[in-house]
Amino acid sequence: MASTTRGSRGRRQGRPTAATEEAVEERREQAENAGGLKGLIARRGGQWSVEVEDGLLRRTQRPLWNLAMDHYFRMEVEGWHRLPDPPAMLIGIHASGLLPIDAYLTGFQWDRRFGTERPLHGTSHDMLMALPGVGDYLRKLGGLPAAPDSITAAFAAGHDVIIWPGGDLDALRPWRERDRVVLGGRHGFVKQAIRSAVPIVPVATIGGSDTLIQLADGKAIAKRLRLDKLMRANAFPIALGFPLGLAPGIVPQIPLPAKIRTEFLDPIELDTDPERAEDERYVSIKYREVERKLQAGVDALAKRRSFPVLG
């Protein structure tokens, strides 16, 4: 598949940590020994591979996703020319609920442009990776759990990885905060980029919040139900969607046909000395740089929106 981006010219390999394989085995051993619902999620979520094939699933669903991207969501993507050579860490935001359609659309835009010549692994919450059917589907598309061992392995294979550090706090934020960048104060992605010696590419996106109108994040409900302990979930939103109307945000609904705009921003280079990952001041500075650039990108895209859903 031909491409004119800088990212198609060469491929580096991310630096594997000395204990990558040991970390994989340790994580899976801990999952096997854990009990209850938490153990089940850990075991299911811990099943992954960085091998990517252009299988039957990808080929058969491409026409459907192309139709959805071009006509239903009228998606616009800019900034392909800014992508560095692989591997790179892409950092994004998503705000369309438990099944983040804006994140999936970014992945399928990438697949349409690069195919398997430049694989992109999306990261998902353990709960999604553990769901029967959903988790299997994500794995077949190259999905990985949002964990250091899987991400390190992907970079070591020379593959790109996209991470949404804000997790459920980002995906389940209220509609009134639709244009606010939420990374959750989680600095781990910066440390991971330093240790793997890869640049960070911020990915600004708007429109996902209009596919499912989340009225409240339900943090108090999540805490009362101990979802943070059972599923690492910090929100239990109440949302307005189609066809159920008002319902818990964790219940899937048909996404509204909102216009999605996405832009790959200029890459952020980091010091590749692994010891810098332990320099909290340096890590914090780079975290704020990513957050600041993302917010500026989102603000610029939001100014082009004339009306919610319609775009």
Along the 311 residues of the chain, how does pLDDT read in single tens digits? 333 333 444 556 676 654 455 555 555 555 555 555 455 555 555 667 788 776 788 888 899 999 999 999 999 999 999 999 999 999 999 988 777 899 999 999 999 999 889 999 998 876 666 677 777 788 888 888 888 889 999 999 999 999 999 988 888 888 999 999 999 999 999 999 999 999 999 999 999 999 999 887 767 776 776 766 666 666 777 888 899 998 887 778 899 999 999 999 999 999 989 999 999 999 999 999 999 999 999 999 999 998 888 88
For the entire predicted model, the pTM comes to: 0.83
Q: Please give the structure tokens belonging to residue 28.
A: 């899976």
Distance, in Å, from the CA atom of 134 to the CA atom of 181, rounded to the nearest integer, reads 26
Contacts of 240 (CB under 8 A, 6+ apart): 212, 213, 214, 215, 246
103: left (phi over 0), alpha (psi -120 to 50) or beta: alpha
Helix (H, G, I), strand (E, B) or coil at 254: strand
Q: Please give the structure tokens belonging to residue 212.
A: 């499912």
First to last CA, the chain: 31
b/e sequence 111-146, b meaning 16+ C-beta within 10 Å: bebbeeebbbbbbbbbbbbbbeebbeebbebbbbbb
Does the structural domain 17-49+74-302 have CATH classification 1.25.40? no
Distance, in Å, from the CA atom of 147 to the CA atom of 126, rounded to the nearest integer, reads 9
- Answer whether 287's CB lies under 8 Å from 105's CB: no
For residue 146, the model assigns a pLDDT of 83
For residue 223, the model assigns a pLDDT of 73
Residue 12 per-residue DSSP state: -
The residue to which tokens 């794995």 are assigned: 139
Distance, in Å, from the CA atom of 62 to the CA atom of 179, rounded to the nearest integer, reads 29
Domain ranges of the chain: 17-49+74-302
